[in-house]
A and B are shown apart, each in its own frame.
Chain A
Amino acid sequence: MFEANQLSLAIWLPIIGGIAVLATGNDQRAGLARIMALLVSIAAFLATLPLYTGFDISTGDMQFIEHLPWIPALNINYSLAIDGIALLLILLTAFITIIVVISAWQVIQEKVAQYMAAFLIMEGLMIGVFSATDAILFYVFWEAMLIPMFLIIGIWGGPNRIYATIKFFLYTLLGSLLMLVALIYLYIKSGNSFALADMYAVKLGLTEQIWLFIAFFSAFAVKIPMFPVHTWLPDAHVEAPTGGSVVLAAIMLKMGAYGFIRFNLPITPDASHSLSTVIIVLSLIAIVYISLVALAQTDMKKLIAYSSIAHMGFVTLGLFVFNKMALEGAIIQIISHGFISGAMFLCVGVLYDRMHTRNMSDYGGVANTMPKFAAFMMFFAMANVGLPGTSGFVGEFLVILGVFQVNAWYAIIAGTILILGAAYTLWMFKKTIYGAVNNDMVKALKDINSREGLFLLILTLSVLIMGLWPAPFLEIIHTSVDRLLTLSAVTKL
């Protein structure tokens, strides 16, 4: 009984825990809320571990299947299952939530219970997105996630938070609603079934597929976000509190890529092939142009936000060249970027908590007053650049190798990210961390405390482990990627 519901447990434990945290009420019991949130997030992480230990890497089929009828009138079911790709993302989600809870320990002083609860509930919803195999269930989790994020940015965000959060919400809502139309269309086409497996099997003409592809694309491209629908992201990132930025960059953006993997590639394979050039060109624009935009930023968070967009361009590039190596590279990049971008935003958060500015010119010489912090930040900056030995290298290397087999020019253009990425990351690093102590505020900075050291250390280890020994991660996704490639290679015409 318990064994059979591991996915449900992973989804509902944090949600119910979040509601319990919410029930602690106002800020007089903030301490209790924090401890409860930490315990819930750790318990939720432990609840995802049986998924890893019980996962069968020899098959690409869906595992941990759960199935309950939900709305018989529309043939909507509560059905869950995961493959290797989803498994990695679920583990990442549960892991990042613990980090977010720890990182907010002292920083958030207002409405603590609501803050912690929002993240825990969001964790459950995100795991739901990764494990739903019924289109409407997927859609419900997908959209429900917007609500806590909307509140997180709107309540705890920066000065321009209201504009940013409403922009974020409406942008993603428009995209997702078009996806809903596509899902209902598929429901009718597949003989009244919302099950993803039936949608994979249904035959579709090329025009139909292209329309469906565009509808799905509008939902997922906004989420990733791809050039040219990326404009909400810098706003949202800049205004979001640190925890919000971390979850946004580390997990929410990945949902767009996950959507491509789950919907576009297998449901509209022919359209994916015929439109792949468009996607590849957009990805390359994201890599080159957005990297250049990043170079022009003065706000640290904005710079990292643009860097995220460029790195996600790499992911979409890897997805649409239909090459096993590139696809695996893209998935590794998804996970690795989750660690690295999360860590980068946490680093900026650490600085922001002390100085209350994200403007690079207000910093300079931080290494003198915060040596330990500077060391951590150096490491993450290197990982962001893709230094061998860090997880950033594995993903980018695999993608470039895979792309090279398909088209050398694509690979060469994509390769510029290594140069441009190094340029903007190191430029930011130099301006803020190195040099002489710039002003009195920097002079008065205190180095990181043990709590901050803890989460930065955990992330450092994760980045290192994944960089030095990626085999276990690749092992999990091998068969799932094979299955995905098979699905996306079979024509539906």
Chain B
Amino acid sequence: MNNIFADIQLAIPEIFVFSMACVILLLDRFTHERMPKASFLLTQLTLLVTFYLVTITVPEGGSAKAFNDMFVLDGMATLSKQAILSLTFVVLIYSYSYITERKMYRGEYFVLILNAVLGMIVLTSASHFLTIYIGLELLSLSLYTLVAMNRDSDLATEAAMKYFVLGALASGMLLYGMSMIYGATGSLDIETIRSAIQGMESDDAMLILGLVFIIVGVGFKLGVVPFHMWVPDIYQGAPTSVVLFLGTAPKVAAFAFIMRLLVDGFQGLAVSWSDMLTIIAVLSMATGNLLAIVQTNLKRMLAYSTISHMGYFLLGILSANPNGYSASLFYIIIYSFTSLAAFGLIIMMSRAGFEAEEISDYKGLNKRHPWFAFLVALVMFSMAGIPPTIGFFAKLSVIQALMDVEMYWLAVVAILFAVIGAYYYLRIVKTVYFDKPETNEPISARFGMQFVLSVNALALILIIPWIGIIMDVVSNAISAMG
């Protein structure tokens, strides 16, 4: 029955990433001096090959379990993995010159990234509390270290410390919640928990208490209000290349994490967690959008914007039906690619000794470099959700999901905060287009990066005619979850 080879076959992408991380770690000792590019290229190759492996590893019948039901592979897992891998691939392209210029180019950087990727793709396939926890910790521990990668920077060290302490606290909460659920249901396996909950009273105190702790843990990891305090500091303090990574791929993993935990495991308690998430979502949209207005540091502003975007992302989940889940998945994928372009632009504008992270650094960009100015405007309009950029369709789908379950007031609240949000995105466009430049320093960026970034940003608008296809892929992935 439990054929170990069949099990392994489903986890080949994970195994490959893990092996390659070890290989790169060892190999870097030898190639570091002579062929400094080797680790970078090998990592990128790993990501490409893994993407291919993920794509061809499709279980029969759309969904399969392995390793004593601890590991599941289905449409949602495949799509999330593909998104995570491609996001990481682009992240590394953007980061390359940033980390070489700042002497952060070390083999460990790539090994940590690969470990984080491994954590994320394990997380998307977890169907057991232990697998979830292993994936999550692998991701978190790699990220703590990456944030501290710029050893000599006080801000980065402080950020890493904060991240670590709060992250550990969150993990503790999560574990505590899991142990309570174990106490209530007698199992750590998500499917067993689901059926156990269906046979229980939905106001069972132990169950609800466990759920609350789990939501707190999830809230910390997502960075939603009131568990958001670490987000702005990390975004500001960490090296931009790391923020770029941490602000994109892990968000997709977080979606998978929530889906496995809340939707798969606690379907029977949907009424309870939906209410909790509603409060969190409203607070996040409010706090994120309002506090972003007063920021002068672009990275910090984007941090608050992330908080608000996580609020919008939760709107789909809390509507607690497949339509809403696919809206959320769509939202998070769109958001990740938009924020990829946003941080990519910050990286492109910066050079050694100048981080380009103050909003005032972008004054009059239209005069200095019209093309970059155009890209900045595109990204900002997409973040604000103004048509015809893709950000609009993301917001449209979550709001439609909300109204489908007759949560009209929440839809109106979401929209009011979207208008407030538009203000600070517009302020960036204003800085770029209407203000006078303060310096005439030429902006130089490697052609390869410029090209990829242009494609990335232009895709935010040019993909519109084919957006129906993306939505179909996403909703197929969700319905294939079974």
A residues near B (Cβ < 8 Å) are 25-26, 69-74, 76, 111, 114, 136, 139-144, 146-147, 150-151, 154-155, 161-162, 165-166, 169-170, 173-174, 177-178, 180-181, 184-185, 187-188
Contact = CB atoms under 8 A, between A and B. Distances in A.
Interface stretch (B38-46, B133-141, B180-188, B395-403): B395-403
Contacts of B451: none
Interface stretch (B52-60, B207-215, B338-346, B468-476): B468-476
B460 to A, nearest CB: 13
Interface of B: 326, 366, 370, 381, 386-388, 392-393, 396-397, 399-400, 403-404, 408, 411-412, 415-416, 418-419, 422-423, 426-427, 429-430, 433-434, 465, 467-468, 471-472, 475
A155 B431 CA distance: 11
B67 to A, nearest CB: 34
Given A143-B392, A181-B412, A170 B468 contact: no
Nearest to B412: A181
18 contacts: A69-B468, A70-B467, A76-B468, A142-B387, A143-B386, A143-B392, A146-B386, A150-B426, A162-B434, A165-B434, A170-B423, A173-B422, A174-B416, A177-B415, A181-B399, A181-B412, A185-B408, A188-B403
Contact of B399 (A151, A165, A184): A184
A169 B433 CA distance: 15
Contact of B422 (A73, A165, A169, A181): A169
Contacts of B416: 174, 177
A69 B411 CA distance: 26
A181 B415 contact: yes
Nearest to B402: A184
A181 B411 contact: yes
A71 B426 CA distance: 28
B71 to A, nearest CB: 29
A146 B433 CA distance: 15
A112 B396 CA distance: 35
B404 A188 contact: yes
Contacts of A170: 419, 422-423, 426
Nearest to B384: A173
Nearest to A128: B388
A184 B388 CA distance: 17
Contacts of A141: 387
Contacts of B400: 74, 184, 187
Contacts, number: 97
B471 A154 contact: no
B388 A140 contact: yes
B468 A71 contact: yes
A188 B406 CA distance: 10
B475 A73 contact: yes
The 10 closest A-B pairs by CB, nearest first: A71-B468, A73-B471, A140-B387, A143-B387, A177-B415, A144-B388, A154-B434, A174-B419, A184-B403, A144-B387
B422 A154 contact: no
Given A71-B393, A177-B418, 17 more contacts: A70-B465, A72-B472, A73-B326, A74-B397, A76-B468, A136-B396, A143-B386, A143-B392, A144-B387, A155-B433, A162-B434, A166-B427, A169-B426, A174-B416, A174-B419, A180-B415, A184-B399
A369 B475 CA distance: 70
A70 B468 contact: yes
Nearest to A139: B387
A420 B90 CA distance: 63
Interface of B is mostly: helix
Given A139-B387, A144-B387, A71 B471 contact: yes
Contacts of A111: 366
A144 B464 CA distance: 13
Contacts of B427: 166
Contact of A155 (B386, B422, B434): B434
A178 B415 contact: yes
Contacts of A142: 387
Contacts of A185: 403, 408
Nearest to A73: B471
A212 B100 CA distance: 57
A8 to B, nearest CB: 12
Contacts of A70: 465, 467-468
A150 B433 CA distance: 10
A281 to B, nearest CB: 27
A324 to B, nearest CB: 35
Nearest to A142: B387
B403 A154 contact: no
B355 to A, nearest CB: 26
A100 to B, nearest CB: 20
A154 B433 contact: yes
Given A151-B433, A170-B419, A72 B468 contact: yes
Contacts of B388: 140, 143-144
Nearest to A153: B434
Nearest to B374: A22
A76 B415 CA distance: 21
A300 to B, nearest CB: 24
A141 B464 CA distance: 13
Contacts of B419: 170, 173-174, 177
Contacts of B411: 181, 184
Contacts of B399: 180-181, 184
Contacts of B392: 140, 143
B403 A73 contact: no
Given A166-B423, A181-B403, A181-B415, A73 B468 contact: yes
Contacts of A69: 468
Contacts of B423: 166, 170
B473 to A, nearest CB: 10
B418 A147 contact: no
B103 to A, nearest CB: 37
Contacts of B326: 73
A151 B381 CA distance: 12
B408 A181 contact: yes
B327 to A, nearest CB: 10
Contacts of A140: 387-388, 392
Contact of A73 (B370, B465, B472): B472
A111 B465 CA distance: 30
Contacts of A26: 370
A147 B426 contact: no
The listed residue with most B CB atoms (<10 A of its CB), out of A71, A161, A178, is A71
Contact of A147 (B366, B386, B467, B471): B386
The listed residue with most A CB atoms (<10 A of its CB), out of B392, B400, B418, is B400
A162 B427 CA distance: 10
Given A70-B468, A177-B418, A185-B403, A161 B434 contact: yes
Contacts of A162: 430, 434
A487 B386 CA distance: 32
The listed residue with most A CB atoms (<10 A of its CB), out of B388, B465, B471, B472, is B388
Given A140-B388, A181-B415, A147 B434 contact: no
Contacts of B434: 154-155, 161-162, 165
Nearest to A143: B387
Nearest to B475: A73
A165 B434 CA distance: 11
Contacts of B471: 71-74
A270 to B, nearest CB: 20
A29 B443 CA distance: 23
A24 B406 CA distance: 50
A166 B430 contact: yes
Nearest to A145: B387
